[in-house]
A and B are shown apart, each in its own frame.
Chain A
Amino acid sequence: MKLRRAIKDARSEGELFRRRAVAGFVLILLGLAGLIGRYVFLQVERYDEFATRSENNRVKPLPIPPARGLIYDRNGVLLANNVPAFRLEVVPEQVKDMNAMLAQLGRVIPLGQDDLDAFHKQLKQSRRFESVPLKLRLTEDEIDRFAVNRWRFPGVDVVPYLNRRYPFGGLFAHVIGYVSRIDADDLARLDPSRYKGTTHVGRIGIERSYEDVLHGTPGYELVEVNADGRTQRVLQTHPATPGRNVYLSIDVRIQKAAEAAFDGKPGAAVAIDPRNGQVLAMVSVPTYDPNLFVDGISHADYDALTSAPDKPLLNRALRGVYPPGSTVKPYVALGGLELGLRTPQDTVLSTGTFYIPGQSRGYRDDRRGGFGTVNLRTAIMWSVNTYFYKLALDMGIDRFSAWMGKFGFGKPTGIDLDGEASGILPSREWKARRFKQAWYPGETVIAGIGQGYWAVTPLQLAHALATLAGRGTPYAPRLVMATQTGVDQPKIPLANPPSGPSLVTSQGNWQAVEQGMQMVVNDPRGTAYGLGKGFPYTIAGKSGTAERYSRRTDAYNENKSLAYLASRHRAWFEMFAPAEDPRIAVAVVLEEGAWGASSAGPIARKILDAWLATQPDAPPDTPLPPGGLPSVGAPPTAPAPPASSGEDQPAEASTQDTPP
């Protein structure tokens, strides 16, 4: 056997180490010699040059933060601007004893605990020679008092700056968002040289997603300083490049009307131009004042916002997910036509209950005894569940979810805002991923009427509706339609090409669905008859009512109290106009609405009225009676009660006889 080589030879190892140590030391000496060579070069060769530069070194560059770009609505109404203000800044390096200085300064200018907390936080994060804001938005009185005492506080100065203001307050909070003071996480994320001297950064909304556009590039000025580091005079100025202005496609008039239409009830509405994906209005009710966040929100205000039961900070349009209910029926109908499973004339007999062949479980219609023989148009008009149960079953879940996915359900719409919710599009893969379970045919049936696993955001529904209204051509929703390098510069439109090919191959198919949706609003038998009254263009629409809780019994609910129903239902309405050549598509959800047509429908109609008033080519005889329209909760012109008209009942059929 061979001896293992692993017997260590201590002596030769020691010798090896000795040689290496000597070699290492020689290399180190060479390295240090090289280092000294560099110092010889600087201190001997270039001594004269550097001595002169040091002698003349009284000049310092100071960053000039860029003015943030302004935000306008589509007609140039200012939605976010910059207001001149003054703040107190401290250069930590020039303060001998920070605590003593703050105590003394507190006697001259009152410093709140919030100010001090923010200051100490930022102090830790910044370098000692960089000035740190101590108190923002000084009053004139405070500025005067500081000016008198300034000599006592080396390193402290009053500095002018531009403060962000949102003149419309909460109206655009869920769209524009707000800026707030840069914190530690931002410092790690942002390019430090681009943010020299900048104190605020876009936190959410447009302010965040268009941060790069809005921020601009800082400039600097070369200033001569004295021995205390105080500026003596400015020698040279390299101005900052201000951020670009941004034009939203939203019209402030439609936005206002949409918010007002909710009358404070929690919900959301999104209006999109189907021809290009431009968002015309996007509201989430309730809302909050973004101005509170700009200089750091106080604990009291923040607690009030987070503990409010209506969750004003939640952007319901973007992140609220709700079961869509019957609003999906037009898309399912178009799928049946486009996939060749139905013609518009094919009929189905609605008897009040639908059975999957060979199964005893029943899926209900909204009207006891059913609607009789219906075709595609009347099925949409009456919102006949049986028609869509059968159609979904014939499609099968795979074709169903592939088709509905083309309308953008179950994935972000690609709007130019961060934080969009994806919702849920029921599919075999989704269920396998989420529950690790197989798919049952009964789940396909109820998916056909927007129940079951379904969850969509108001933005998703508006996007799907805009795609449908635009004859199948999908556009990613866009809030920003143009940017501008300065107020007197031309607007540069942002291109938004279609995000895919048209979903509609036959105009006949499209027209059949569109006619069904017209009948919802304009046919006396329609679930939302009356909503189109007095509007110069034809409106097409579809209601939806989804239950918030699972139904526990098989019995039809006999409690018709609107307040009771509102506490149980989520009301949807989607509508577009003009029906033949759609220019606006609106989706509305009301979190506590008794019925889609009577609760959410009037809100959608008010948004259309506001849009109409902004159209230059509106027919001259446009009647716009203020208050003459059906109002939420008290529907004088709204359809008759559901039992008689067959208004779209919440059809949580899925749970009525779930297997034990």
Chain B
Amino acid sequence: MIELLQVRMRRLLRRVLTRPRIDLPLAAGLLLLSMVGLATLYSAADGSVALVGGQAVRFVLGFALLLLISRIPPSTLRNWTPWLYAGSTLLLVVVAVLGEGRGADRWLNLGVMRFQPSELVKLTMPMMAAWYLHPRQLPPGWKDIAVVGVLIAIPAVLIARQPDLGTALLVAAAGAFALFLSGMAWWRIGLLLGGAGAMVPVVWHLPFIHQYQRERVLTLLNPESDPLGNGWHIIQSQIAVGSGGVFGKGWMHSSQSRLDFLPEHTTDFIFAVFSEEFGLVGVCLMVALYAFIIGRCLWIAMEARDTYSRLLAGAIGMSLFVYVFVNGGMVSGMLPVVGVPMPMVSYGGTSAVTLLTGFGMLMSIHAHRKRHD
């Protein structure tokens, strides 16, 4: 019995090694990123082994999921897509009706664990957009753009109402990237972006935009006006980043978080700790690592066999940019404080598991790429 298992394991191992279903450069990038993430977390959490251990367990779970998903062919993923999208959107509705959370209703209590359906939508959204565009004539016309727009708007509005503007932004961006990659004409993009810009004053007054969200934007302009609230986050975070200088204060030497001045320094503001400890050099290397992963995703997308795989892979890769840009901008006081984590670095399980699941799809797409003969 055990021998049989061993034989099977050995065979699987051989197959993984000889005909790898995973893209090694991408996997290497992700592994490196998770190592840096854990090291930063260890420092930010003031040497808490429990915290880092918990995060490491989630990473292991995430990588296991990645391997598992990578074995599902993209055609199967495509067949499941409408159901997954509908299911995850339904869960959002359920959360809207009976969710619970700290202040914001984002969580669904399953008894054993609490679960955030909006995380799921981060994946099902680009899948759905790709699924819809897959059989269409590309580049898409207004009709198809409108349909995808509605598909984006339904979950995005539900999430924004929770209220979780950060995740809503990520979801909307993932769908929008699929449209962009499908070849949507530049003039149409310009027109829509211009229109959206003109809508900003309208959105500002929408009833589900909470007062605190408006205030976050306002305090960004003048952080000193709100020493007890968000202004404090912004000021302290900028002090942390700025005092890091070019070479940083060194690992485990961020005084800002050590002395408790930096709130949320293991989650949303962890990149401030990183910047303080590793300085501009560290920031550049980190951004380069993210750029490499994004580039590799797009490369995998270009090699993909069909439209669905291309759009899905490209959209997932490009979403990573939104994470990095929004979190990095928020930590440095360039963008308002919205709850977007730094991927694989911020503490928090669901986000890392979602990301790695998404990369699992990329691995699958890579395995089923066009064969260059």
Does any Cβ of A come within 8 Å of B294's Cβ? yes
Does any Cβ of B come within 8 Å of A564's Cβ? no
Residues of B contacting A13 with CB < 8 Å? 138, 183, 307
Does any Cβ of A come within 8 Å of B54's Cβ? no
Asked whether, in the complex, the Cβ of B212 is within 8 Å of the Cβ of A191, the reply is: yes
Q: Which of B103, B246, B294 contacts A187 (CB 8 A)?
A: B103
Does any Cβ of A come within 8 Å of B339's Cβ? no
Bound-state Cα–Cα, A58 to B135, Å: 61
Mask: chain A, 604-646; 1 = CB below 8 Å from B; 0 = not: 0000000000000000000000000000000000000000000
Asked whether, in the complex, the Cβ of B238 is within 8 Å of the Cβ of A35, the reply is: no
Mask: chain B, 319-336; 1 = CB below 8 Å from A; 0 = not: 001001100110011100
Q: Which of the candidate stretches B11-19, B74-82, B89-97, B224-232 sits at the interface with the other chain?
A: B224-232
Does any Cβ of A come within 8 Å of B290's Cβ? yes
Asked whether, in the complex, the Cβ of A184 is within 8 Å of the Cβ of B100, the reply is: yes
* B residues adjacent to A (C-beta < 8 A): 48, 100-105, 135-139, 177, 180-183, 211-212, 215, 226-229, 232, 236, 238-246, 255-256, 258-261, 263-264, 275, 279-280, 283-284, 287, 290-291, 294-295, 298, 301-302, 307, 310-311, 314, 318, 321, 324-325, 328-329, 332-334
Given A20-B180, A61-B228, does the pair A36, B283 have CB atoms closer than 8 Å? yes
Bound-state Cα–Cα, A19 to B283, Å: 29
Asked whether, in the complex, the Cβ of A127 is within 8 Å of the Cβ of B264, the reply is: yes
In the complex, which residue of chain A has the Cβ closest to the Cβ of B248?
A43
Given A17-B183, A35-B328, does the pair A54, B243 have CB atoms closer than 8 Å? yes
Given A43-B246, A54-B243, does the pair A188, B104 have CB atoms closer than 8 Å? yes
Does any Cβ of B come within 8 Å of A32's Cβ? yes
Q: Which of B239, B287, B333 contacts A57 (CB 8 A)?
A: B239
Asked whether, in the complex, the Cβ of A25 is within 8 Å of the Cβ of B298, the reply is: yes
8 contacts between A and B (CB under 8 A): A13-B138, A16-B183, A39-B280, A39-B332, A43-B283, A53-B242, A54-B242, A57-B259
Residues of A contacting B310 with CB < 8 Å? 14, 17
Does any Cβ of B come within 8 Å of A106's Cβ? no
Does any Cβ of B come within 8 Å of A63's Cβ? yes
Does any Cβ of B come within 8 Å of A304's Cβ? no
Q: Give A298-356 interface residues, CB cut-off 8 Å to B.
A: none
Q: Which of B103, B226, B275, B301 contacts A21 (CB 8 A)?
A: B301
Bound-state Cα–Cα, A6 to B137, Å: 6
Bound-state Cα–Cα, A93 to B136, Å: 53
Asked whether, in the complex, the Cβ of A57 is within 8 Å of the Cβ of B261, the reply is: yes
Q: Which of A32, A49, A54 contacts B255 (CB 8 A)?
A: A54
Given A16-B139, A24-B314, A28-B294, does the pair A43, B181 have CB atoms closer than 8 Å? no
Residues of B contacting A233 with CB < 8 Å? none
Asked whether, in the complex, the Cβ of A54 is within 8 Å of the Cβ of B290, the reply is: no
Asked whether, in the complex, the Cβ of A60 is within 8 Å of the Cβ of B307, the reply is: no
Residues of A contacting B138 with CB < 8 Å? 8, 13, 16
Mask: chain A, 83-99; 1 = CB below 8 Å from B; 0 = not: 00000000001001000
Q: Which of A21, A29, A47, A191 contacts B243 (CB 8 A)?
A: A47
In the complex, the 9 A-B pairs of residues with the closest C-beta atoms, listed nearest first: A50-B242, A54-B243, A193-B229, A16-B183, A42-B242, A50-B243, A43-B280, A21-B298, A125-B102
Residues of B contacting A61 with CB < 8 Å? 227-228, 232
Report the minimal beta-carbon distance from B339 to chain A, rounded to whole angstroms.
Answer: 12
Residues of A contacting B329 with CB < 8 Å? 35, 38
Bound-state Cα–Cα, A42 to B246, Å: 10
Residues of A contacting B259 with CB < 8 Å? 57-58, 225, 227, 229
Q: Which of B48, B239, B245, B334 contacts A38 (CB 8 A)?
A: B334
Give the interface SS of chain A, mostly helix, strand, loop or mixed: helix
Asked whether, in the complex, the Cβ of A51 is within 8 Å of the Cβ of B243, the reply is: yes
Does any Cβ of B come within 8 Å of A433's Cβ? no
Given A35-B328, A39-B241, A51-B243, does the pair A8, B103 have CB atoms closer than 8 Å? no
Report the minimal beta-carbon distance from B345 to chain A, rounded to whole angstroms.
Answer: 15
Q: Which of B105, B226, B325 contacts A31 (CB 8 A)?
A: B325
Bound-state Cα–Cα, A54 to B244, Å: 10
* A residues adjacent to B (C-beta < 8 A): 5-6, 8, 13-14, 16-21, 24-25, 28-29, 31-32, 35-36, 38-40, 42-44, 46-47, 49-51, 53-55, 57-58, 60-61, 63, 93, 96, 124-127, 129, 184, 187-188, 191-193, 196, 218, 220, 225, 227, 229
Report the minimal beta-carbon distance from A234 to chain B, rounded to whole angstroms.
Answer: 15
Asked whether, in the complex, the Cβ of A31 is within 8 Å of the Cβ of B321, the reply is: yes
Residues of B contacting A51 with CB < 8 Å? 242-243, 245
Report the minimal beta-carbon distance from A13 to chain B, rounded to whole angstroms.
Answer: 5
Asked whether, in the complex, the Cβ of B212 is within 8 Å of the Cβ of A192, the reply is: yes
Residues of B contacting A55 with CB < 8 Å? 243
Asked whether, in the complex, the Cβ of B241 is within 8 Å of the Cβ of A20, the reply is: no
Asked whether, in the complex, the Cβ of B227 is within 8 Å of the Cβ of A32, the reply is: no
Asked whether, in the complex, the Cβ of B261 is within 8 Å of the Cβ of A60, the reply is: yes
Report the minimal beta-carbon distance from A15 to chain B, rounded to whole angstroms.
Answer: 10
Residues of B contacting A16 with CB < 8 Å? 138-139, 183
Asked whether, in the complex, the Cβ of A124 is within 8 Å of the Cβ of B102, the reply is: yes
Given A61-B228, A184-B100, does the pair A17, B181 have CB atoms closer than 8 Å? yes
Residues of B contacting A193 with CB < 8 Å? 215, 226, 228-229
Bound-state Cα–Cα, A53 to B104, Å: 34
Asked whether, in the complex, the Cβ of A17 is within 8 Å of the Cβ of B302, the reply is: yes
Asked whether, in the complex, the Cβ of B301 is within 8 Å of the Cβ of A50, the reply is: no
Most buried by A among B48, B135, B238: B238
Report the minimal beta-carbon distance from B208 to chain A, rounded to whole angstroms.
Answer: 13
Report the minimal beta-carbon distance from B260 to chain A, rounded to whole angstroms.
Answer: 5
Residues of A contacting B334 with CB < 8 Å? 35, 38
Asked whether, in the complex, the Cβ of A46 is within 8 Å of the Cβ of B324, the reply is: no
Residues of B contacting A187 with CB < 8 Å? 102-103
Asked whether, in the complex, the Cβ of B239 is within 8 Å of the Cβ of A43, the reply is: no
Report the minimal beta-carbon distance from B342 to chain A, rounded to whole angstroms.
Answer: 12
Q: Which of A17, A19, A42 contacts B238 (CB 8 A)?
A: A42
Report the minimal beta-carbon distance from A231 to chain B, rounded to whole angstroms.
Answer: 12
Residues of B contacting A31 with CB < 8 Å? 321, 325
In the complex, which residue of chain B has the Cβ closest to the Cβ of A94?
B260
Bound-state Cα–Cα, A5 to B321, Å: 35
Asked whether, in the complex, the Cβ of A32 is within 8 Å of the Cβ of B228, the reply is: no
Q: Which of B137, B307, B324 contacts A5 (CB 8 A)?
A: B137
Residues of B contacting A192 with CB < 8 Å? 103, 212, 229
Asked whether, in the complex, the Cβ of A21 is within 8 Å of the Cβ of B294, the reply is: no
Other A-B pairs beyond A50-B243, A55-B243, A184-B102, 8, CB < 8 Å: A5-B137, A17-B311, A28-B318, A32-B291, A35-B287, A39-B328, A43-B279, A193-B228
Asked whether, in the complex, the Cβ of B290 is within 8 Å of the Cβ of A32, the reply is: yes
Asked whether, in the complex, the Cβ of B261 is within 8 Å of the Cβ of A28, the reply is: no
Residues of A contacting B236 with CB < 8 Å? 57
Asked whether, in the complex, the Cβ of A24 is within 8 Å of the Cβ of B238, the reply is: no
Residues of B contacting A229 with CB < 8 Å? 259-260
Most buried by A among B242, B263, B332: B242
